[in-house]
Structures are given as C-alpha cells and as structure tokens.
Chain A
Amino acid sequence: MTLSAYLALALILFCIGLYGALTKRNTVIVLICIELMLNAVNLNFVAFAKYGPHPGVHGHVFALFVIAVAAAEAAVGLAVLIAFYRNRKTVQVDEANSLKH
C-alpha cells in the first residue's frame, strides 16, 4: 500500500517531467523537467529499497549516484546552453535544429 503510493507519486512526477521535456520550448525549462524525471526515478529507487521484496542499501546508494550524475549533467547541460546562446542568441529548443536532413 505504501509502496504503491510512492510509485504513483513517482509516476506523476515522471509524467510531468516527460511532458515538460517534450513540449517546452525553453531549454532551461527542459533541463529542469529532466531533473524532475531523474528525481522520479530516485524516488522509485528509494521506495523499492525500503519497501520492495528485497529491502537493502543498494537503492539508496544508486539514488546517490543518480544525484551526482544529475548534478554533473546539469552543469554540462547549462554549459552547452550558454555556448549555444552565445552562438545563436536564443535558448529556444526548436531553433537548435542544425542536424536536420
């Protein structure tokens, strides 16, 4: 029962994040949405680690890793965004389409 509640919260968070990541035009918002999705995942890890069929410490450790990687990702993502902004004077995702056909 408690596990389901955590998982439902994580699902809602993930869907909000996914929706934002796919629809928002502002890159900063997209990055934030990605963080949201990562945190939904973290919530899952922690919930399973506590209430899952095999409770243990692995889920916690993994959540910490994800937080570290997410921090690094945010740093790199913002750096790329700044470089992009310097080049194109915009932060709109739909204008970052140089790789199209």
Chain B
Amino acid sequence: MMNLAWVVPLFPLCSFVLLLLFGRKWGKASAYVGIAATLLSMLAAIGVLADRLGGTTHEVNWTWMTVGDVTLTAGVSVTALNAWMLAVVAVVSWLVHIYSQGYMVGDERFSTFYAYLGLFTFAMLGLVLSPNLLQAYMFWELVGLGSFLLIGFYYDKEEAKAAAKKAFIMTRVGDVGFFIGMLLLFWQTKSFDYDDIFRAVGDGTLSPGMTTVAAILIFIGAIGKSGQFPLHTWLPDAMEGPTPVSALIHAATMVAAGVYLVAALFPLYEASEAAMMTVAVVGGVTAIFAATIGLVQTDIKRVLAYSTVSQLGYMMLALGSGSYVAAIFHLTTHAFFKALLFLAAGSVIHAVRTQNIEEMGGLWRRLPWTAPLFLVGALSISGVPLFAGFFSKDEILAAAWMNGSVELFWLAVAAALLTSFYMFRLFFLVFAGPARHQGEAHEAPASMVGPMAVLGVLSVASGYIQTPWFGSFLGEWLTDGSYHHEAAPGWIAVVATIVSLAGIFLAWLMYGKRAVPRDWLSARAPHTYELLRHRYYIDELYRWTIVAFVSFVSRLLEYVDRFLVEGLARLAAGIVGAAASAGSRGQNGQAQTYGAVTVAGLAILVVIFALTGGYWL
C-alpha cells in the first residue's frame, strides 16, 4: 500500500481534470465524481497510514533535472508526519465534498466548484507528500491558487473578488520569504531535500546564523499561509467564499500548510534558539490577538475565522516551544472541530439565510442536529475536559510551561479563556434566546448533517490518541518511539479546565441568562470596544501605509509609462510621420514640377562639375 502513496493526490487531480472537461455536461452528477475521487484518495491515505503504523517507511526520488553538478529530484516520501497529515486532509476533504452536495445545490457553477475543490485537495495532498522544498514550494503555490479560485468563487460579488485577491497577494508576501529562505538553504547545502538540509544542520555545514535566517524566512511563508499576525488579515476576509470552502481552508488545507511546513522542517528550527523564539512569540501573540478580536465580531463566520487564527497561533506556539507533537496533535483535533464548526455554521446560514448573529437566535429546537453538533465543536475548541480540544490544548499549555516561557504560557491561558467566551457567546446568540430571524428555519438535508455527525464523533474521539491517561500514542509514533512525555505539572490541566469553564460561564451570564448587560464592555471601555470591533485597525493601517504607498508608486510609474515611455515612442512615430507627410507633399502629380526639379538637379551637378573640373574620382 505504501509504495502507492503517490496515487493519493492523483485522484482529486483526476476529478479536477474530468470535471473541467465534462463538468457542464454532467451537471449535478459532478458531485459524485468529486466524492468518489476523494473517497478513493481517502481510502488510499488510510491504507498508507495503516502501513506506516506497521513501521514501514517509503521514499522514492526521481531525477527531475540535472543542471551543472546539481541534480534536482522529485519524489514522494512517507514519514509518520506525512502519513498522518495525508489521512487528516483526505478525511476532511471527503467530508467537505459530501457536505457541499447539499450546500451548493442549485448553484449554476456547481461542477466548477467541485473541480476547484479537487484541485485544492490535490495541491494540499501533494504538498504533504513532497520530500523536498522545491516540490513543496510548487504545491504550496498551487494551494494558494486553489484558495484564490475558491474564495473568489462568487466572483460577481465585489467583496469576494477583493477577498480572493487579498488572500492571494498577502500569502504571496509570505511566499517571498519562503522562497528566499529556500534559496538560502539551497545555496548553502546544494540540495532541496529535507534530509540533506537536516544533515547539513546537524554536521555544522550550515552556520548557526544562516540557519536562523533561513528558518525565519521560511517561517514568514508560514505566517502568510497560516494567517499569523501580521499577515492574518486575509483569513477573515476569506469568509466570502462558500462555507464548505471556509471549512476546508480553515480546517485541513490552506492554513494547516504553514504549520505543516514548520513541523516538516522542525529540525532546522530546533537548531536555532532565535528562530524557535520567533515562532513561539508570533504564535502566542497571534493567539491572544485574534481571540480578542473574535470577542466582538457579529458575523458568525468571522468569529470562527478569528478563532482559527487564534488556534493556529496556538499551534505555532507549540512548535516554538519545542513541542512538535503538541502542534500536530492540535492541528489534527482543530481540523476536525473547526471543520465541524464551519459546516454547522454553514447549516445555520443555510437555514436562516444570514450570517449576522444578531439576526439569529432560538435555533436550538429548529435545528435538532446542527445545534448539538455545533455545541460539540464549541465544547471541543473551548477545551472542556473529555473533548478533543482539551487534550491538545492542554498539551500546548504544558509545552509552553515546560519551555520556561511563563509570559507565553499565561498569554495562552488568557487566549483559552477568551476562546471559550467567544465560542459560547456565539452559541448562545445563535441557538438560545428568542428567534430574531425572518421566516422559517429548516434543518439541512442528510448530505450536510452526515459529514457533520462524523466530524462530531471525530471532534471527541481524536483527542484520545494522546492523553495523559491512556498514553501518548501519537507522540511516540510521530517521533519513532523517542518521545518522552515530560511530566507537566498537573495543575496546568486544572487551570485549563477552570479557564474554559469560566469562559463558558461568563458567556452564559452575559448572553444566556443576561444577568450582565451585553453592552458591559462597550459602555465601560468604548475605545477598547471600537478598537476590537475594527480589528485593531490593522486593515486600515495597511490601507493607509502599504497599500497607499504601493498605489502611489504604481501611479507614479503609470505616469512615467504613459508620459515618458509612451511619449518617446510617440515622438519617434511623430518624426517619421512628419517626414512622410512632408515628403508626400512633394508628390504633387505635376509632371512639369518633377521635370523642373530634375533639370535644376542636373544644373547643380553641372555647376559642381564645372567648378571642380570633372569627376571626383
């Protein structure tokens, strides 16, 4: 099974190509093509994972090209991390494919949507399987392209177009960092292969300074892709895409790519104290920063988007704290519960036709499936004990504590409090209280509820692969048995539990029981409230600095082009034209004039000959 790993990404690619060619003819049947392709891909991925669990590894490299004495290879490698990611991505993608069948029904570009989903899934699976940076970079860009197409799927909507461009351009900013870092590594090690790079780090071929620079540059790529501060602003805007896409982007594919990249290059980061510190600080800051913004947003998808940014910050914090396992663990549980939350949010939006949580409420009875499943997701992300999120978040808090960065630890705890608060604010506003929406809300069809139910189960079950009670299976497996779970102080789990329950309780007081007025914060600290509501004015800041600067430069260059370059071209053309019209005025058709000119010319020649005495020669 394992030597067939390369076929895993090919199924979605086939689906993409087929749907591109025949999608219009197939219409609604396109969904089955997409679902079947991702099902096969998922089965293959699970087969690979099962093989890998048995302990086999697999790596194939083909020579791609030889330039001078450098040989570039392309290939497929299956490590524990790859196999795990492959399975997570394939499972979530398959469920999203099924869900979309119900959600996107009636859309006139139904088959195109499935084609793009196929491309996106293909890119992510390809990225995961890449054994070298160059190949990873290509798939990385393909992931960016897929997200661009999907976010801008409703391209007749101005916001969707803007969001798609923003996502593409902002991640490109990060990609430049990735690209430069990759070239630095190549320059130093003469290889793009992960293994060669790690060997160079190990034996000192790569100087510590260079290691740090390269690691941080590549991390900039991850910042862009994973929506870390300060390149996070594209992620909430990406909500303009169809909801299943948000689920896919936010759970398993696009944003996970950044975390995956750092995890895949983990030995490089481990070698550099400064790089680790950078990753941890960026992660910790992002976690709390996004969580505070999430408190006051009123769009259901935007709240979830900021929670994604915040959770990704957690993962980065875990990586920076040296706990690769905790990051991948949280990535996995997050993939499931965030996909669940987004799909549930999609189901809510499907039912009430609005995204504004102020216009929802009282949906608990109306949506007998969606509501409990959303609750499961919310409990999981809030880190309530026995749910998956609890175990992974606890792992991250422990990692931050054990790493000795007390400030980051308390930042993460505060972010956990905020997380459970805003998740339950969302829950109470949407599902409890009086109904504020117009019209009748109906539960989604089975094709939408089914995937949600599966994810609901996974949002609980996926936590039990790494618990303090049943052993750390995931950690031992990911690190080939060298994993030693340092006994984190037991009080961390207690703190995490208290914090998450406190968040839920506060949310209940304010939005459930309404014992505390809702405008408590906005009345007491109007400036803070405004600051949060405007997302710290980051977008405005970018608009007035970077965007303004770039558009100033581009306008300047436009004028240079229009007046200087084009002016020169026009001048050249004008001279030729003037000469031509002057010359053509001589062609007046009067044979006698021609004759007179000829005679005059002859006369001049004769005079010259007479003066010089004959031929010059």
Footprint of B on A, CB under 8 Å? 18, 21-23, 30, 93-94, 96-101
Contacts and interface: CB of A to CB of B under 8 A. Distances in A.
A26 B595 CA distance: 16
Contacts of B584: 101
B588 A97 contact: yes
28 contacts: A18-B599, A21-B592, A22-B592, A22-B595, A22-B596, A22-B599, A23-B592, A30-B592, A93-B590, A93-B591, A93-B592, A94-B590, A94-B592, A96-B589, A96-B591, A97-B588, A97-B589, A97-B590, A98-B589, A99-B587, A99-B589, A100-B588, A101-B584, A101-B585, A101-B586, A101-B587, A101-B588, A101-B589
A21 B599 CA distance: 11
Contacts of B587: 99-101
Interface of B: 584-592, 595-596, 599
Nearest to B585: A101
B582 to A, nearest CB: 11
A22 B584 CA distance: 21
Contacts of A99: 587, 589
Of A30, A93, A101, the most chain B CB neighbours within 10 A belong to A101
Contacts of A94: 590, 592
Contacts of A97: 588-590
Nearest to A99: B589
Contacts of B596: 22
A55 B596 CA distance: 34
Output the residue of A22, A23, A30, A94 with the most chain B CB within 10 A.
A22
CB-CB nearest 5 A-B residue pairs: A100-B589, A97-B589, A101-B584, A101-B587, A22-B596
A21 B594 CA distance: 12
Nearest to A25: B592
A30 B596 CA distance: 13
A94 B595 CA distance: 13
A94 B588 CA distance: 10
A9 to B, nearest CB: 20
B590 to A, nearest CB: 6
A10 to B, nearest CB: 16
A21 B595 contact: yes
B241 to A, nearest CB: 63
B581 to A, nearest CB: 9
A44 to B, nearest CB: 16
A17 to B, nearest CB: 12
Contacts of A101: 584-589
B596 to A, nearest CB: 5
Given A22-B595, A96-B589, A96-B591, 10 more contacts: A18-B599, A30-B592, A93-B590, A94-B590, A97-B588, A100-B588, A100-B590, A101-B584, A101-B587, A101-B588
A96 B585 CA distance: 16
Contacts of B595: 21-22
A18 to B, nearest CB: 6
Contacts of A93: 590-592
A94 B590 CA distance: 6
A45 B584 CA distance: 39
A101 B591 CA distance: 13
A94 B589 CA distance: 8
Contacts of A21: 592, 595
Nearest to A18: B599
Contacts of B585: 101
